Amino acid sequence: MGAYLIRRLLLMIPTLIGIMAVSFLVVQFAPGGPVEQVIAELQGQGGGATERVSGGGGDFGAGAATSDSLGSSSGYRGAQGLDPEFIKRLEKQFGFDKPPLQRFGLMLWNYTRFDFGESYFRSISVIDLILEKMPVSISLGLWITLISYLISIPLGIRKALKDGSTFDVWTSGVIIVAYAIPGFLFAVLLIVLFAGGSFWDIFPLRGLLSDSVKGAWCAPWSSSFDIPDCVTRTIPDYFWHLTLPLIALSLSAFATTTLLTKNSFLDEIRKQYVVTARAKGLSDRRVLYGHVFRNAMLIIIAGFPGAFISSFFAGSLLIETIFSLDGLGLLGFESIYKRDYPVVFGTLYIFSLMGLVTTLISDLTYTWIDPRIDFEKREV
């Protein structure tokens, strides 16, 4: 196992470099880089790109040059009438005065030290910006994954045991219909019904906490941490804010895991060792949870990292927008739209690394559940 672990860790290096290289190459051909955004803003055509840039060739925002990487542009459209020296200063400020290969190499060197620089258009480092948005994405990703697995696995097992019955047919119909309904459309319906749209005003629409309890967040390291206040006010308010987003996200979250669990258990139940165990007089419960469960759950565990990463980072952009939740999905979209390359590449690097590490953890979990699996004998 040690040799396999080392090989997998070493393979992460070229994988990360490949992901960053492809993304960096795409950016070189994408129009509307940060310099062009600033020029458009100065010409009265932009959308706030000069938040950290002073007009007339002044200070462009201390710290932006620490993100020495990324992006592309030369011969900027719309730059007519602007001082060429001003354009050069802009390029230098954003790090575009260096050749692309040099920028890419410098970016990789900084990222190996987890130095992601600062946002081009906000006076905050990329790490601090991600940490600021993390509570929303952790809340959505963690709870939707837990809810999905806690419901889907028992439901999938039940459907496997009742295969072909009325229960199996109507639950499959409900799951497929729910999967076909777009989550964002259902979210709008929930707002209309329960968030003051046209009927009842029961649930809030913005943030994770109400303004009245924001100072009492349940963090033991916080100076405002108070156990009674946390239990009676903060936790109920937190779940009150998350109710509608989680319902909208969970609508289509059960289908894949439920059907995968059902089919996996059906395959195992039909194998010869199950027939033999029953012939020896073992109860159905003993056969199911003592023999079938461990083998059938392997494929479910294999899909966990992908499901978690997907719900954590990529599955909540529209939900975050509809419910005014300022999380990582919305941050990524806005960064791409504004060509805030330090944020774009920094989040891409972090999320890719987390995905690779999570996949490795999943493989190691295989051996914990079933010691018969030996990755040392596999070719990576």
Cα angle 294, 299, 302; round to 5: 115
Quote the pTM value.
0.72
SS3 207: coil
Q: 142-179 in b/e burial notation, b at 16+ Cβ within 10 A?
A: ebbbebbbeebbebbbbbbbeeeeeebeebeeebeebe
- Distance, CA of 306 to CA of 148 (rounded, Å): 13
pLDDT string in tens for the chain (380-residue length): 677 788 888 899 999 999 999 988 888 777 777 777 777 766 665 555 545 554 433 333 333 433 444 444 445 555 555 667 777 777 777 777 788 888 899 999 999 988 888 888 788 899 999 888 888 888 888 888 888 888 988 999 999 888 889 999 999 999 999 888 888 888 889 888 888 767 888 888 877 877 776 655 565 555 556 677 677 777 888 888 889 988 888 887 888 888 888 988 888 888 888 888 888 888 878 888 887 887 887 777 766 766 766 666 555 678 888 888 888 878 888 888 888 888 989 988 988 888 888 778 777 777 776 666 666 665 54
End-to-end CA gap in the chain: 12
SS3 247: helix
- For residue 69 the two structure tokens come to 């990487």
- Domains of the chain plus CATH, in order, are 22-122 (no CATH), 129-339 (1.10.3720.10)
SS3 content of the chain, % helix, strand, coil (to 5): 70, 0, 30
